[in-house]
Structure 1
Amino acid sequence: MLPMNVLDRQNAKRAAAAGAADVVAVVSDAGSEDVIRRVVQDLSISRAHVQPGNCDDAIRLLQQHERSPRQLIVDVSDSVLPVSDLMRLADVCDPSVRVVAIGTQNDVGLFRNLLGIGVQDYIVKPLTVELMRRALTATESVVQVRTGKIVSFVGARGGVGATTIAVSLARCLAGEKRRRVAYVDLDLHGGGANSMLGLSSNNGLIELLSMEQRPDEALFDRMFVTKGDRLHVLSAELAYGDDATLRDDALAQLVDMLKDRFHYVLFDVGERTGRLFEDALEASDLVYIVADRSVHAAYEAARLARFVKELPGERLLSMVLNNPLEPVKGRVAPADFEDAFGGVRLRELPHEPQPLAVAENLGEPIEGSKRRGFVEEIWRLANGITGESAVVAGTVVRPSNLIPTGVEGSDMLGTAANERGEYFFSA
């Protein structure tokens, strides 16, 4: 067995090579490697990476890089549950990656299941040059079955902490959960997200919303400011008094581009009026209304809920009750909020001003030793979105709903996606 430091160097070299590749193949036998290398050479694909391994190795490889390949070939020969393994793989690669699975099971049921989750093709070993070439050059696309999910945060009134919660969730999804996240601050005159993340705006959001034509990939990437390797921020900072002239379909086009590249797109909906506000909520898979324990916030939250209900399409709606001010007698009780919203269960965040104030001023996450109830609740929100064991209250909002009635589920976005026939990979 090779010494650990030699293995580490080998893994680092493989990861570096894969990070720059357009085609990545992780296969378990030398014969398959040879066939894929021949096809890559025949097709003059200059940026390709082929290595031995299985689905777990492919997952570890992709976890080390921000950029996913355009095409991925993965060997599921050794997988006991190949569909489940490929679902785990979907969590670490972009939604737009075209995936070709290879294996030893000549099973029609498996083939259909893999196509059902968005795998482009399944090839039974032994591989041939012609089959592999056909898979890599196929122009027809499978049905678009996996795209990133849009999550919007809107405050019932100013100062309830919607941006604080959204930024904390973005950090969790990109950091602990290792998902690719786009954070879009829709306050065109300068929202608070950049300050909380220790970043400066480059006005990339205005640039994208003002473009007449769809930008190429390189230009699109330059519009973001990044925090780490998986959190990408779009924002603007127009001068006060200036307005932006936007096309009617500007946000819809942006959403299409974002959903192809990110697992989650978080909209920080600052203003509660205007075209961007309406378009963002309409495009959302999940809307969080954030309120504090005031009568005014309860009233405005109810109005927002009715507005979301009246939008075309369907989406999930969830209420977050935040405590930015110290709880005192006379404020609206959580039980009264639940009654006002037809019994919907709320996610309540505790009052923890000191660690939040320090983190916000430093532009850093809450210090590890001070992580208590607030961070734990953010973790539960993240689990509810990704479907990892936590229960989060929400409801599917359809035009027939009057006010959300509350449905508990371990994966709100997953449940809604299944109802629409959307699953994991896309072509």
Structure 2
Amino acid sequence: MSAIESLLRFTSSSAINAEDLLAVVSDRDSETTVKNLIVDQSIASACVQRGTIDDAIQLLKTLDRSPRQLIVDVSGSAMPISDLARLSDVCDPSVAVVVVGERNDVDLYRSLLGAGVQDYLFKPLSVGLLQRALTARDPAATLRTGNAVCFAGARGGVGTTTIAVSLARFLADVTHRRIAYVDLNFHGGAVNSMLRLTTNNGLTELLQNPQRIDTPLINRMLVPKSNHLLVLSSELQYGNDFVCRPGAISELINALKRHFHYVMLDLSGVAGSIAEEAFDASAFVYITSDRSVHAARETARLLRFTEDRDSDPTITLLLNNQHEPVAGRVDAADFQRALGRASMVELPYEPKTLAAAENLGEPIAAGKPTPFTSAVVELANMLTGRTEAAPPKPWYARLAGNRGRR
């Protein structure tokens, strides 16, 4: 084994330090070329391994963070487009992806570039070719970003945070999406107690920073629950007013979207300009209600407000049965008919599962499936485009990311 191979060869994900570059290629010649590039360019944090695109997908699932740049090989893939769509599901939106293959296919090349892939190279590779592909960026190319997802309750106590946290944990733990959960209640929402975390007041620290919000600052303020689920929150003392400068919320959300598949915005108890900026930045809005007349009226107001947003978000109504069924509550069919909404998901009454989730910090998807967990899975499938009712967008839309579902 040469000195270069000894320096760059890794055998397990725990040994990988690939903050700058990760390459997974299928043949020895390509592996050697990438290693020579790493040494030639003095890339300090890089890793190259032999394998397929399936290996690359599995490896990305185990890493704490996606690399800044990724080289992946589709040689031998029977369905390279589908494989790249699966890759986009586990790869941070900010990653610059260079695809390597054996086909000199102009149509594939154009499709990939239009989708946000940085470049497509066919073998044999050279150091110069790889260097140009990794450093070139077409100013007109579409930058992949994640989606902001807003959760708002028609009134307090309808289970907005419970549903949002359950969905976030499922997306992070099961589908391996990278999730930023932002609790916009500056005086402390329920997310930290539900996840058994302690806030560092990172949200208000970011928003009061007079300088531009940047990636290193965001990384310091995020509190991790896992590799794929990170929380941004604050818990100010009651009586301590916090004035947020106009545009700060939008700036923060846009910065997070560059590094996360989904930025989940919890608006429980939040209104005014903060909520307005969150709605405007969101591609998806979930409004939670219960079977009360008051909640139905407030839901109608929220629907009118969100439907008037210039961002034109996809709006889904969540009818949550958080109380024991008794006579006198609004019937689900009447509720839906009164609001004139066909897009509604009803969540069942399930006190034991939710008590464990809220008070013990247990994920609702763990253990035996229940009707509530099935409803959360349905929401996840709808959001990521995996159900027949909401068919997935084409692979290129998911790779491009801008309002595509991943």
TM range (shorter): over 0.9
Give the secondary structure class of the aligned counterpart of 1:25: strand
Number of residue equivalences: 398
Deviations 1:31-76 (A, max 9, x none): 1112212222111112111111111111111111120111111111
Cα deviation, residue 313, structure 1: 2.3
- Does the CA contact (< 8 Å) of 1:83 and 1:113 recur in 2? no
Counterpart of 1:288 in structure 2 is 286
Q: Are 1:355 and 2:372 matched, yes or no?
A: no
- SS of residue matched to 1:69: coil
The answer to which of 279-288 and 33-42 deviates more is: 33-42
Task: For residue 413 of structure 1, report the CA deviation from its aligned partner.
Answer: 12
- Give the distance between the partners of 2:261 and 2:230, measured in 1 at CA: 12
Residue in 1 aligned with 2:82?
Answer: 84
- In the alignment, is residue 136 of structure 1 matched against residue 117 of structure 2? no
Counterpart Cα distance in 1 of 2:354 and 2:60: 33
Deviation at 1:87, TM superposition (A): 1.1
Instruction: Say whether residues 1:27 and 2:25 are aligned partners.
Output: yes
- Counterparts of residues 55-70 of structure 1 (less than 5 Å): 55-70=53-68
Q: Does 1:376 align with 2:374?
A: yes
Q: Distance in 1 between matches of 2:277 and 2:392?
A: 24
CA apart distance, 1:12 = 7.9
Distance 1:375 1:420 in 2: 27
- Structure 1 residue 331: deviation in Å? 0.8
**Percentage identity across paired residues of the two chains:** 51
Q: Which residue of 2 aligns with 1:243?
A: 241
Compute the displacement of 1:81 (Å): 1.6
Q: Is 234-243 or 358-367 further displaced after alignment?
A: 358-367
Q: Cα–Cα, structure 1 residues 49 and 78, in superposed 2: closer, same or farther, change >3 Å?
A: same
Shift of 1:341: 2.2
Name which of 256, 259, 274 aligns with 1:258.
256
Distance 2:322 2:345 in 1: 14
Q: Deviations over 1:147-183 (max 9, x none)?
A: 1111111000111000110011011111111111011
Q: List per-residue Cα deviations over 1:206-251 (Å, max 9, x = no partner).
A: 0111112234433321201111211100111111111112221111
The 3 A distance-change label for structure 1 pair 337 and 162 is same
2:34 aligned residue (24, 33, 36): 36
For normalisation by structure 2, the TM-score amounts to 0.92
Amino acid at match of 1:388: R
1:169-201 residue CA offsets vs partner (Å, 9 max, x unmatched): 011111111111011111111101111111111
Distance between the aligned counterparts of 1:171 and 1:20, measured in 2? 26
Structure 1 residues 152 and 367, CA, compared in 2 at 3 Å: closer, same or farther? closer
Unaligned runs of 5+ in 2: 1-8
Partner of 2:200: 202
Matched, 1:219 2:217: yes
Q: 1:178 to 1:12 in 2, by over 3 A?
A: farther
C-alpha deviation, 1:140, in angstroms? 3.9
Q: What residue in structure 1 maps to residue 3 of structure 2?
A: none
How many Å separate the matches in 2 of 1:298 and 1:335? 12
Q: By how many angstroms is 1:114 displaced?
A: 1.2
For the pair 1:335 / 2:333, whether they are aligned, the reply is yes
Distance between the aligned counterparts of 1:205 and 1:84, measured in 2?
37
Question: Shift in Å at residue 386 of structure 1?
Answer: 1.1
In 2: Cα distance, 1:360 partner to 1:154 partner: 18
User: Paired residue for 1:7?
Assistant: none
Amino acid in structure 2 at the alignment position of 1:157: R
- Which deviates further from its counterpart, 320-329 or 351-360? 351-360
Q: Are 2:185 and 2:234, in contact at CA under 8 Å, matched by a contact in 1?
A: yes
Q: String of CA shifts for 1:367-415, please: whole Å, max 9, x gaps.
A: 8455411111001101111122263xxxxxxxxxxxxxxxxx2348999
Q: CA RMSD in A?
A: 2.4
How far apart, in 2, do the equivalents of 1:118 and 1:133 lie?
A: 18
Structure 2 partner of 1:301: 299
Partner Cα separation in structure 2 for residue 149 and residue 292 of structure 1: 26
- Write the deviation string for residues 121-153 of structure 1: whole angstroms up to 9, x where unpaired: 011111122211111222545623421111111
